[in-house]
Amino acid sequence: MSAQTKFLLDESKMPRHWYNIAADLPVPAPPVLHPGTMQPVGPDDLAPLFPMELILQEVSTEREIAIPEPVREVFKLWRPSPLIRAHRLEKALGTPARIYYKYEGVSPAGSHKPNTAIPQAWYNQQAGIKKLATETGAGQWGSSLSFAGALFGIEVTVFQVRVSYDQKPYRRALMETYGARCIASPSNETNAGRAILAQNPNHLGSLGIAISEAVEVAATHDDTKYSLGSVLNHVLMHQTIIGQEAMLQLEMAGDDPDVIVGCTGGGSNFAGIAFPFIGQQLRGAGKTKQRRIVAVEPAACPSLTRGRYAYDFGDTAHMTPLTKMHTLGSTFTPPGFHAGGLRYHGMAPLVSHLKQLGIIEATAYHQNECFAAGVQFARAEGILPAPEANHAVLGAINEALRCKQEGRSEVILFNLCGHGHFDMSSYSNFAAGKLVDQPYDEAELAMALAGLPSVPA
Amino acid sequence: MSAQTKFLLDESKMPRHWYNIAADLPVPAPPVLHPGTMQPVGPDDLAPLFPMELILQEVSTEREIAIPEPVREVFKLWRPSPLIRAHRLEKALGTPARIYYKYEGVSPAGSHKPNTAIPQAWYNQQAGIKKLATETGAGQWGSSLSFAGALFGIEVTVFQVRVSYDQKPYRRALMETYGARCIASPSNETNAGRAILAQNPNHLGSLGIAISEAVEVAATHDDTKYSLGSVLNHVLMHQTIIGQEAMLQLEMAGDDPDVIVGCTGGGSNFAGIAFPFIGQQLRGAGKTKQRRIVAVEPAACPSLTRGRYAYDFGDTAHMTPLTKMHTLGSTFTPPGFHAGGLRYHGMAPLVSHLKQLGIIEATAYHQNECFAAGVQFARAEGILPAPEANHAVLGAINEALRCKQEGRSEVILFNLCGHGHFDMSSYSNFAAGKLVDQPYDEAELAMALAGLPSVPA
């Protein structure tokens, strides 16, 4: 075990461009539609919510978009993130596979989310915006935007799904330490929130509802814009710094991945590690090796494996445009499992499009097997993964066990998108045998899918 | 702000030796005494508690001791740790000083403690030991030894101070995830614990009591040794990898520190960053610059600034040998402030000796000003420091503000020994104005000092 463990890049080697997969798609992704006119939305439709630079990124088909220097300066606090060879996990599994993980938990907020929070805050600051509203589930995104706001002097308001707000006071404390305001959603601060509370004052909230509240605040306040931590094209593009770095680091290691694994909720960390490799494949550039790209999602919220590829709203109150994506229906409420960052009814349109084109695979796991994988990983590699990341850990372990069975020494790369330091109550519950693999309600799914908006072909 | 931010060393540059300051002391530190005979203890006296390799390190005067290759292999999971230039903090303070911090929070357990947990577990494994007993306050040390135990197949039992056990269930969950057993101390598992509980069944515990319990378990079980996370010579030596790396990294930066700051509880993270620089100075090697070395301790447990330099026990039940150190008396119980890792009545003999020789300075701060410094740091640099590390942060900030006042562009290096992800309730309480700067009880201190053992000169 004397081979190299950690592959570090000097900050001078940090990528200077984001990679935009729209430039290389064999078929363009379907347009985003205005729900009133059913016509494609234009930049002006999005202007109340986002600064123009981000809107232009959202619709760009340029292959490379320069990362602004002030953004790169902030990234240098923790980027390039390490690529680590999982020597000890390989040994524990007895696999001939070589397993590498890109570790995004080194960011101050503990996940990949600052990769997009920092540029989003910066572009808003450049556009003269003083306030941002956003939503968060488990709190990874909320704390990342709070951190970004502190650096660029932007007031951040975070609508946090109430069940997480109550269960994870420490994530909230982190947001508040960065100077942000955190509000349990549904709240009395918006029409969307008040309408839900009128029906059920004890509503536990959902990401869809929290999005509605944050969008409403941005849409109704001239000095406030909205910021989203996943799903959108520009958000996924900001994460491609992960895969670009991993590509350089695997070159240092003299390896080339056969399988790339990421967990998917909205799709951003998966896109971050996978898109640069997919782009290489689509362009026929680099090595000609055909790689398998595997998205791992929770069995209790299985948009890619059980959802319909259809136009749907991104939020519960139907304030967003319509996007074509794998969706369980905007009214679908997944059971309360512990990977809060993966509890979203839809999927990033770009990830959905690639799934539809057969360029990526998807698989779904239950939460107890994911936590077991996380514990095994921690005891071998030290790092305690976030519950979301445990899905990718299990995906990588299963690929490594397949390699063992088939006697193949494939190279497996996965994205360890964050640590679980704020999720210890979940680990406690797992250790105590208190976690339940609660399936989603088939009837509710059927109803949610039946309620999908009808869009003329 | 385009200058370099992060100074990384490739793992091939990781130090291959620990630095032993005993080789360079102008006067040897006073011997450790057997409390029965009042004679210096020999290796055999310590054999029930530690494997012989560690005992030999404890008394060695060799300048360099090789780090075993299997230990270096584990270190590669996170070491060398980054040295970061605090550009944003400097700007926020408006100081001409250049501030660098060595960030030890990148370890899987979140602090510098694995630097000694890993070699201690390894030497015990090599000696055929299957079980280790230890104590922990806030849990940084306990989780580090639990992690080390998982890697080397050693069963770890941790006696955690009850007040922390109850207040910080997530640290305990981390220890248990690594496979360790965590017991609230005082417990019913030892004579020391039962004696305390007989007097007060609701005793909140203390590090001194937890040490007594762990030592008793090791002393009365043939298959179990004891492991300590600070204070002892070999523990401090294991931490010198921090300062050695920092020296190489500051060379990369083209800078040389004028002031080095670390927080002190038992003294190990302070020693880790400072001893290699002190040794250089003592040998007259390297640059001739006279550096100031500043230890920062909590005003509520001020062993270096208010304690007596005297022989004392390391624990409450008086099961340890007598060491000459700055002590508040082994019966002194500090008020319940939030930097649990600094709540110890004594100080490492080597750190005490250097203080006595006038080679280092010491200063004490109250907890609210330390938390305020931690929040300022987080909003500038992103990383949320552990409450212990906040003492070093404030020390560095105060040095930088002095530089501003004096118009001097000095170079300040401090050890950011861990993150505060498991201490968010303290940050919440600070934000809510609920933290009290409770002074220690002067009468209790006087009584504890009066009770120091009398040792013939």
**Contact residues, chain B, for A73 at CB < 8 Å:** 1-2, 5, 87
A222 C-beta neighbours (distance < 10 Å), count: 9
Relative to beta strand B411-416, strand B259-263 is parallel
Q: Which of B6, B115, B176 is best to mutate for the A interface (most A CBs within 10 A)?
A: B6
Nearest to A382 among B5, B108, B379 (CB): B108
A39 touches chain B (CB under 8 A): no
Mean pLDDT throughout B414-426? 95
Q: Which of B370, B377, B424, B435 is best to mutate for the A interface (most A CBs within 10 A)?
A: B424
Report the distance separating Cα A121 and Cα A147, nearest Å.
10
CA distance B131 to chain A (A): 17
Mean pLDDT throughout B143-147? 98
Report the distance separating Cα B396 and Cα B293, nearest Å.
11
Nearest to A8 among B8, B151, B384 (CB): B8
Residue A133 has which token pair?
A: 């509203």
CA distance A77 to chain B (A): 7
Residue A259: its H or E element:
strand A259-263
Q: Give pLDDT tens digits for A264-281.
A: 999 999 999 999 999 999
Nearest CA in chain A to B82: A78
| DSSP class per residue in A59-121 | H---SEEEPPHHHHHHHTTTPSPPEEE-HHHHHHHT-SSEEEEEEGGGSTTSBSTHHHHHHHH
For residue B93, is pLDDT > 90?
yes
CA distance A73 to chain B (A): 7
Q: Give pLDDT tens digits for B354-406.
A: 999 999 999 999 999 999 999 999 999 999 999 999 999 999 999 999 999 99
A361 C-beta neighbours (distance < 10 Å), count: 15
B16 touches chain A (CB under 8 A): no
3-state secondary structure of B402: helix
Query: Which residues 424-453 in chain A show a CB within 8 A of chain B?
Result: 424-425, 427-428, 431
Residue A46: its H or E element:
helix A43-46
Q: Which of A421, A427, A434, A435 is best to mutate for the B interface (most B CBs within 10 A)?
A: A421
pLDDT along chain A (457 residues), means of 10: 85 97 97 94 93 97 98 98 98 98 98 98 97 95 98 98 89 96 97 96 90 95 95 98 98 96 97 97 76 97 97 91 96 85 93 98 97 98 97 98 98 98 94 92 94 88
Residue A269: its H or E element:
helix A268-282
Report the distance separating Cα B353 and Cα B291, nearest Å.
18
The predicted structure's pLDDT at residue B1: 44
**Rounded alpha-carbon distances, angstroms, from residue A333 to A202, A268, B183:** 15, 21, 40
Higher-pLDDT residue of B409, B338: B409
CB hemisphere CA count around A284 (13 angstroms): 1
Question: How confident is the prediction for chain B on average, in pLDDT?
Answer: 95
Q: Do A77 and B69 touch (CB under 8 A)?
A: no
Relative to beta strand B6-7, strand A322-327 is unpaired
**Contact residues, chain A, for B87 at CB < 8 Å:** 73
Query: Which residues 162-221 in chain A show a CB within 8 A of chain B?
Result: 169-171, 173-174, 176-179
Query: Which residues 216-275 in chain A show a CB within 8 A of chain B?
Result: none
Nearest CA in chain B to A373: B177
Nearest to A379 by CA among B143, B426, B141: B143
Report the distance separating Cα B17 and Cα B71, nearest Å.
11
A379 touches chain B (CB under 8 A): yes
Report the distance separating Cα B102 and Cα B81, nearest Å.
7
The predicted structure's pLDDT at residue B208: 86
B8 touches chain A (CB under 8 A): yes
CA-CA-CA-CA dihedral for B436, B440, B443, B445, to nearest 10: 170
Q: Do B2 and A73 touch (CB under 8 A)?
A: yes
Nearest to B382 among A87, A147, A379 (CB): A147
Nearest to A177 among B69, B419, B431 (CB): B431
The predicted structure's pLDDT at residue B391: 98
Residue A326: its H or E element:
strand A322-327
Yes or no: say if B185 and B134 are a contact pair by the CB < 8 Å rule: no
Environment class of residue A200 by beta-carbon count within 10 Å: exposed (0-12), middle (13-18) or buried (19+)? exposed
Nearest to B4 among A6, A11, A78 (CB): A11
Query: Which residues 278-307 in chain B show a CB within 8 A of chain A?
Result: none
Q: Give pLDDT tens digits for B202-255.
A: 998 888 899 999 999 999 999 999 999 999 999 999 999 999 999 999 999 999
Q: Which fold has domain B6-13+67-110+234-450?
A: Rossmann fold (3.40.50)
Yes or no: say if B178 and A378 are a contact pair by the CB < 8 Å rule: yes
Nearest to A386 by CA among A421, A335, A414, A415: A421
Q: Which of A5, A143, A151, A371 is best to mutate for the B interface (most B CBs within 10 A)?
A: A5
* pTM confidence score: 0.96
What percent of chain B stands above pLDDT 90? 90
Nearest to B425 among A8, A170, A375 (CB): A170
Nearest to B11 among A5, A379, A419 (CB): A5
Q: Do A424 and B174 touch (CB under 8 A)?
A: yes
Query: Which residues 401-420 in chain A show a CB within 8 A of chain B?
Result: 419
Nearest CA in chain A to B89: A151
Higher-pLDDT residue of B287, A326: A326
The predicted structure's pLDDT at residue A287: 56
**Contact residues, chain B, for A6 at CB < 8 Å:** 11, 76-78
Residues counted in chain B? 457
Report the distance separating Cα B336 and Cα B298, nearest Å.
11
Backbone angles phi, psi at A194, to 5 degrees: -65, -35
ipTM over 0.90: yes
Nearest to B84 by CA among B293, B238, B297, B252: B252
Q: Do B169 and A428 touch (CB under 8 A)?
A: yes
Relative to beta strand B64-66, strand B17-19 is antiparallel
Residue A430 has which token pair?
A: 């797992």
Nearest to B54 by CA among B109, B129, B4: B129
Helices (H) then strands (E): counts for chain B? 19, 15
Higher-pLDDT residue of A334, B291: B291
Q: Do A379 and B421 touch (CB under 8 A)?
A: no
Residue B29 has which token pair?
A: 């530190």
DSSP letter (8 states) at residue B423 = -
In this complex, how many residue pairs, one in chain A and one in chain B, have their CB atoms less than 8 Å apart? 142
Nearest to A346 by CA among A265, A442, A275: A265
Report the distance separating Cα B110 and Cα B400, nearest Å.
26
Report the distance separating Cα A94 and Cα A90, nearest Å.
6
Mean pLDDT throughout B44-72? 96
A107 touches chain B (CB under 8 A): yes
The predicted structure's pLDDT at residue B156: 98
Sequence letter at residue B376: Q
Nearest CA in chain A to B78: A6
The predicted structure's pLDDT at residue A427: 95
Nearest to A173 among B169, B177, B428 (CB): B428
